[in-house]
Copies of this chain bind each other. A is one copy, B any other.
Amino acid sequence: MTIRVAVDALGGDRAPSEIVAGALDARAPGIVPVLYGPAGLDTHGLEHVVCDGAVGMDDKPAEAVRAKPGSSLVRAVRAVGDGDAQAVVSAGNTGAMLAASLLHVRRLPGVLRPGIAVLLPAAAGPSVLIDAGANADARPEHLVQFAHMGAVFAEEILEVAEPRVRLLSIGEEPEKGNQLTLEAHALLADAGLRFEGNTEGRTLLEGEADVVVCDGFTGNVALKTLEGTIGSVLDALRHEIDANVRGRLGGALIRPAARRVRARLDVDTHGGGYLLGLQGIVVIAHGASSRRATANAIRMAARGVEHDIVGRLRESLPERVVESARSTTPNGNK
């Protein structure tokens, strides 16, 4: 099987050079990256769809998608809706990716809101955090759907049978939380999932859950805090090690160990998150995506196609989510 992955060559802080380089690296038997970008882009021989304009990081999502139908971001997303590609990757404006995906890839039946699922590099192996930033304001029933989608992800991609699901909150006890998590906790306990209660930010890297559920604001804050803290701790250590000869000697000796830690904890290792709940594979890459992150995001997109994540969600979601979907307005997105 050959998987065509539409790549937004203008998305992200380091576009287009790192994006093009990453796409070249990801090209492999079975993976065909297709660059969506402006005329004159040096594509090093990769397939190229010439686009007109770019969506900026500051553009208002819905407006940008309406006003810039020919932009690289919108055209790359539309490629999936039109069947020209099986998946799309962009490190660009997350809100615009969501808006374009709702318009051109469309939601799976029964899904109220797509959610961004990312992998957390927990000690015992990766776990899924959902929603990492698609929905800054969410309702309890959205969190229940995120839990179901995250569980399918964990089953299919992480190959975990009966994934353990937890709700990100501010205490282990069910009565600890805000209005949203208190209501979501009650719904999750009754959702047919292996729900093991609340979890705290403290344990995100310990892997006590296979799926951690939260609204997109909380998930984004937690994810960025985690990424920033990993970087700050390693930087602080390097700074102290470099302070004297003894440290520098020790630093040289522990370099391989430090490299192994970095390899596991580096955000570039996974490269992005899936926007789940759509009728196609959409990967939202880190805004600061490097060449390596881009290549890994494209591989992640291809893996999503190989594992037929969309088909699995389509099959298993209706029975899983219909209960919670029924109790809400038919169109949760606006």
Which A residues are closer than 8 A to B by beta carbons? 57-58, 60, 123, 133, 136-137, 168-170, 173, 175, 177-179, 181, 200-206, 215-218, 220-230, 232-237, 240-241, 243, 246-247, 249-258, 260-261, 264-265
Contact = CB atoms under 8 A, between A and B. Distances in A.
Contacts of A265: 233, 236
A225 B227 contact: no
- Number of copies of chain A assembled together: 2
B222 A221 contact: yes
11 contacts: A136-B170, A201-B225, A202-B228, A218-B218, A240-B257, A243-B257, A246-B253, A250-B253, A250-B254, A251-B253, A253-B253
A237 B257 contact: yes
A248 B60 CA distance: 52
B240 A247 contact: no
Given A60-B175, A246-B256, A237 B261 contact: yes
A120 to B, nearest CB: 10
A182 to B, nearest CB: 9
B228 A206 contact: yes
A262 B250 CA distance: 17
Nearest to A132: B170
A169 B202 CA distance: 20
A225 B233 contact: no
Contacts of A233: 229-230, 233-234, 261, 265
Q: Which of A222, A230, A236, A255 has the most CB of B within 10 A?
A: A236
A202 B227 contact: yes
A243 to B, nearest CB: 7
